[in-house]
Amino acid sequence: MTIIRQFQPDDWAQVWPMLQATFATGDTYAFAPDSSESDIYRAWIELPQATYVAAAGDGAILGTYYLKPNQVGLGNHVCNCGYVVAAAAQGQGIARAMCEHSQTEAIAQGFRAMQFNLVVSTNERAVRLWQGLGFQIVGMLPGAFRHVRLGYVDAFVMFKQLVD
Amino acid sequence: MTIIRQFQPDDWAQVWPMLQATFATGDTYAFAPDSSESDIYRAWIELPQATYVAAAGDGAILGTYYLKPNQVGLGNHVCNCGYVVAAAAQGQGIARAMCEHSQTEAIAQGFRAMQFNLVVSTNERAVRLWQGLGFQIVGMLPGAFRHVRLGYVDAFVMFKQLVD
């Protein structure tokens, strides 16, 4: 059985290769395909308010996500998350489970809404998944993502109110 | 005559009170009204790629803006700027001049577009100014700004393509 729990330092040995492989594709995340391990450690572990992993019963890490305020100060009631699933664990509902977990965590930590700032428009599976989980496309950024194969493609801003 | 030039360390003595007074109003920028000087120095001077000031002939600083990539890696062709004008220099076209200057600088530095992430909807003068300068509202973030007097108000994402 898979559980979602807080990231622990020992997890990095599994989390980094998963993040590296994901960002290397250059089709879903802004992080440069050749991002260094230290840059990603800072972005995924140090800067966010919290980081989580989805762990299988045997200890294998299947996915990870971070949670942080999307803005400082007077915008810090809206959070932002990023989710990555291991290639070998695609199609098992891990992203959905992490997103649902993150919404519960966000509310518990006092956030009122969640925002994704750069959802690549060609990543249709992700767009549909977030829509199915109640996120709306509230903005369209023309050519804002430099897709490694497709060139400049549009990106969406997606948003979900978590509390009334 | 007013010139716009790169920020120099000596400018901070005039820039900080201007930023502090602006953020203290809690109606235009996300920075907390009681932000510390060191936090703002980091956000306005250290983190951005470049910071500029609008300086009068007598050396008085009338305004300041920063320029930085809005995203890392595959999103770093879109820049982000923030502009602040001294209370005593409002209505003289300083914000407009800085925004025009920033677009020229952005193009020179290789950016293709400019994005504002959290334009407070009730800051109608700013919204109209940016629209007049060619920015479009490409997104609407419901309740994303915690206005100190009005409570939760909507914020806009605004965007301008700088090069074709």
pLDDT at residue number A1: 85
The partner residue sitting opposite A144, judged by closest CB among B72, B75, B146, is B75
pLDDT above 90 (res B12): yes
Measure A8 CA to nearest chain B CA, in Å: 26
pLDDT value at residue A159: 98
* Residue A61: closest CA among A18, A92, A20: A18
pTM of the model: 0.96
Which positions 104-123 of A are in contact with B (Cβ < 8 Å)? 112-113, 115, 117-118
- Tell me if A74 and B31 make a contact (CB, 8 A cut-off): yes
Query: Which DSSP helix (H) or strand (E) runs through A22?
Result: helix A12-24
What per-residue confidence (pLDDT) applies to A156?
Answer: 98
1.10.3720.10, 3.40.50.300, 3.30.70.100, 3.40.630.30: which CATH number matches A3-115?
3.40.630.30
| Contact assignment for A74 to B29 by CB distance below 8 Å | yes
Option in A33, A77, A141 nearest B138 (CB):
A141
Quick one: three-class SS letters along A28-77? CCCCCCCCCHHHHHHHHHHCCCEEEEEECCCCCEEEEEEEEECCCHHHCC
B49 touching A (Cβ < 8 Å): no
Q: Is B155 on the interface with A (CB under 8 A)?
A: yes
Statement: residue B53 has pLDDT above 90: yes
Q: Give the pLDDT score at B1.
A: 85
CA distance B1 to chain A (A): 35
Q: Which of residues 121-150 of B touch A (CB under 8 A)?
A: 138-148
A159 touches chain B (CB under 8 A): yes
Cα torsion for A118, A123, A124, A130, to the nearest 10°? -40
Q: Which amino acid is at A69?
A: P
Q: In CATH, what is the architecture of B3-161?
A: 3-Layer(aba) Sandwich (3.40)
- Kindly list the residues from chain A whose CB atom is less than 8 angstroms away from the CB atom of residue B117: 71, 117
Q: Give per-residue pLDDT as tens, B114-142.
A: 999 999 999 999 999 999 999 999 999 99
In Å, how far from its chain's centre is CA B65? 5
| Listed residue (A32, A38, A112) closest to A80, CA to CA | A112
Q: Which among A75, A117, A118 is the nearest to B145, CB-wise? A: A75
The reply to whether residue A32 touches residue B74, judged by beta carbons under 8 angstroms, is yes
Q: What distance in Å separates the CA atoms of residue B10 and residue B55, rounded to the nearest whole number?
A: 12
Closest-CA distance, A74 to chain B, in angstroms, reads 5
Supply the pLDDT for residue A49. Answer: 97
What pLDDT score was predicted for residue A20? 98
Nearest to B145 among A23, A35, A74 (CB): A74
Q: What is the pLDDT of residue B164?
A: 86
How does pLDDT run across A9-59, given as a tens digit for each residue?
A: 999 999 999 999 999 999 999 999 999 999 999 999 999 999 999 999 999
Say what the pLDDT of residue A164 is: 86
pLDDT in tens, A84-141: 999 999 999 999 999 999 999 999 999 999 999 999 999 999 999 999 999 999 999 9
